[in-house]
Each structure stands twice: as structure tokens, then as C-alpha cells.
């Protein structure tokens, strides 16, 4: 605070400063600026279809626009709406949703308000379109367990036909770890994973106990499951999404040491072969950004 002082013998008025009174003003200004910056909570959602409520057969996910697929996409949109509402009510200020399923799953007329929906292929940068360090958290929605998980509904890694398997620095990894590794390049932590029980278990194994998980069903085998009612799962999805925002400070990016020593196994399905042939490839990946490049 500044006050007028008394005139000196030359008639000049001196100014008197009171730093102790100015400090609260500066502190309040700092807190307002700090709060306005940190109030921005951007969430990046990458979606898949196999881990959605009510989905348990490849007939629902592989062929586009069949009656079974259209119905599965409707289930997808219902689950996704619950997550968007939960994230918004939890404090998210911006939500970008990537249609990550190969044949795409979004139905525009069922989009929930409060998010931006990215669909259609091909697109620049694939499923990481727009992902950068400005995002506060990664949500992996409707995901499935890695190839070979006994109780993983529709389990696979990248392809359920050629039966791909991947190892990075000697650790077998599925699509959860792949997606989180790319996000980790930008310092974005996984905060929420939704899918079957096996998927949730895999998420906790790779990302630790602070990531929020929501189970939408329990696997019995690859195409058999104990399904939960839509009312039950969507309530859980809403609450899980809301809790995921609060969990952001405790969640850490998933980082794989670079350069990454990669190994891949897959089946060569060339019709000219008498039986599918098991193939293997090993190579080095310079950084996480190039993890999924062929």
C-alpha cells in the first residue's frame, strides 16, 4: 500500500510504502491467475468396441453395418455417454474422443453433449490425432485384454485374425500398454480404463493401483461372458469417470525405456500356404511416438 507522506523542507511530498499491506493483494492476484490456468482439464479418450457392455462375439465387432454390429455400436454410444457425463461432472473442461476401433463405432446422432468426437479413416497420426502434452489424462474406453488372456473377452492385440503378439524390452504387451506408451511420450497419464474384468486386471498390472478401472462384464472364455445390465454398468462408468478426474494427481505416465527392443509374432494367413505359418520379427524402435509404425 502507498500513502502520501509529509512535505519536506523543500515542499516535496514523499511517498510511503507498506509492503505488508501489498502482499495480500499480490497473493490474491497470483492465486486467481494460478487457478484459471489449472482449471483447464483436457481429457483424451481412445475408444475400442470389444470392451463395451453387451459385446462378447466377434460377429458384433468385425463386419461393419451388420445388424449385430449396429447394435453393438449403439451399446458403445450408451456407455460412452455415461463416461462423458462423469468426466464433465468431475471437472473436465475439454474432452476429445478418438474412434479407435478398426471399422469405426461412433453413431453421430447418439453423441452426448460436452465432447468432440473424431471418427473416419485414414486420418493424420491415426489414433493419436491431436494428442499432445496439453492433456491432463488418458482414458482407454471399451478396451480388451491382450492376446492369449484365458478369461479375456474377445482378447487380441491389434489383429484377432493374424493373432499378433508384441513384446517391448522383453515385456509382452497388449493394446492397453501400447496406447499408454504413446501417451507417455507426451507425459499424459492413464487415468481410466473400461472393459471386462481381465482388461481391468491388466490395467492395474501395467499402470498401478491409482488408475481407475470399471468392469463392464466378466469373461468366461474368448467369446463367452457374464454380462452386467446396462443400468449397472453405466452407473459404474459414470462414477468411475468422475473419480478418474480426482485421481489425476496420483496417476503417472506409462514410460517404456528407449530405444525400445521390439518383438512381434503373427500368423501368415496367405491362402497359398497349406496352414497358417508362424512369423517372427525383431527390431528397434527409437521412441514411443513410433511404437505402432510398421
Inter-residue contact 154 to 50 (CB < 8 Å): yes
Q: What is the pLDDT of residue 21?
A: 58
Q: Rounded to the nearest 10 degrees, what angle do helices 230-247 and 67-90 cross at?
A: 40
Q: What is the pLDDT of residue 10?
A: 55
Cell of 84: 462423458
| Burial state string for 99-117 with b = 16 or more CB within 10 A and e = fewer than 16 | bbbeeebbeeeebbeebeb
Q: What is the pTM of this model?
A: 0.87
| Burial state string for 243-258 with b = 16 or more CB within 10 A and e = fewer than 16 | ebbebbeebebbebeb
Residue 16 buriedness (CB in 10 A; 0-12 / 13-18 / 19+): exposed
Give pLDDT tens digits along the chain (294 positions): 545 555 555 555 454 544 555 555 455 555 445 444 457 999 999 999 999 999 999 999 999 999 999 999 999 999 999 999 999 999 999 999 999 999 999 999 999 999 999 999 999 998 999 999 999 999 999 999 999 999 999 999 999 999 999 999 999 999 999 999 999 999 999 999 999 999 999 999 999 999 999 999 999 999 999 999 999 999 999 999 999 999 999 999 999 999 999 999 999 999 999 999 999 999 999 999 999 986
Q: Which domains does the chain have, with CATH numbers?
A: 41-146+174-254 (3.40.50.10780)
How far from 244 is each of 9, 17, 47, 216, 237, CA to CA, in Å?
A: 68, 48, 16, 16, 10
Contacts of 288 (CB under 8 A, 6+ apart): 181, 182, 184, 185, 255, 256, 258, 260
Q: What is the pLDDT of residue 36?
A: 43
Amino acid at each position: 500500500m502507498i500513502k502520501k507522506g509529509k512535505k519536506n523542507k523543500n515542499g516535496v511530498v514523499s511517498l510511503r510504502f507498506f509492503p505488508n499491506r501489498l502482499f495480500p493483494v499480490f497473493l490474491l492476484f497470483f492465486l486467481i491467475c494460478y487457478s484459471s490456468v489449472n482449471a483447464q482439464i483436457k481429457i483424451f479418450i481412445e475408444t475400442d468396441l470389444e470392451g463395451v457392455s453387451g459385446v462378447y462375439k466377434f460377429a458384433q465387432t468385425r463386419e461393419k453395418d451388420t445388424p449385430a454390429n449396429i447394435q453393438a455400436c449403439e451399446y458403445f454410444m450408451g456407455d460412452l455417454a455415461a463416461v462423458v457425463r462423469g468426466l464433465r461432472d468431475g471437472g473436465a473442461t475439454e474432452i476429445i474422443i478418438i474412434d479407435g476401433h478398426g471399422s469405426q463405432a461412433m453413431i453421430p446422432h447418439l453423441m452426448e453433449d460436452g465432447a468432440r468426437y473424431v471418427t473416419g479413416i485414414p486420418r493424420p497420426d491415426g489414433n493419436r490425432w491431436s494428442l499432445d502434452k496439453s492433456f491432463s489424462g488418458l482414458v482407454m474406453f471399451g478396451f480388451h485384454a491382450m492376446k492369449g488372456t484365458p478369461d479375456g473377452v474377445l482378447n487380441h492385440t491389434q489383429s484377432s485374425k493374424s493373432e499378433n503378439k508384441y513384446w517391448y524390452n522383453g515385456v509382452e504387451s497388449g493394446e492397453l500398454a501400447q496406447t499408454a506408451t504413446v501417451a507417455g511420450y507426451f507425459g499424459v497419464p492413464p487415468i481410466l480404463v473400461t472393459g471386462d474384468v481381465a482388461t481391468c486386471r491388466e490395467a492395474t498390472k501395467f499402470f498401478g493401483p491409482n488408475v481407475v478401472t470399471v468392469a463392464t462384464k466378466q469373461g468366461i472364455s474368448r467369446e463367452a461372458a457374464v454380462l452386467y445390465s446396462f443400468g449397472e454398468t453405466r452407473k459404474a462408468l459414470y462414477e468411475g469417470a468422475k473419480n478418474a478426474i480426482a485421481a489425476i494427481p496420483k496417476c503417472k505416465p506409462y514410460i517404456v525405456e528407449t530405444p525400445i527392443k521390439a518383438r512381434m509374432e503373427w500368423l501368415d494367413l496367405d491362402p497359398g500356404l497349406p496352414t497358417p505359418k508362424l512369423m517372427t520379427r525383431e527390431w528397434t524402435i527409437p521412441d514411443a511416438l513410433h511404437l505402432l509404425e510398421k
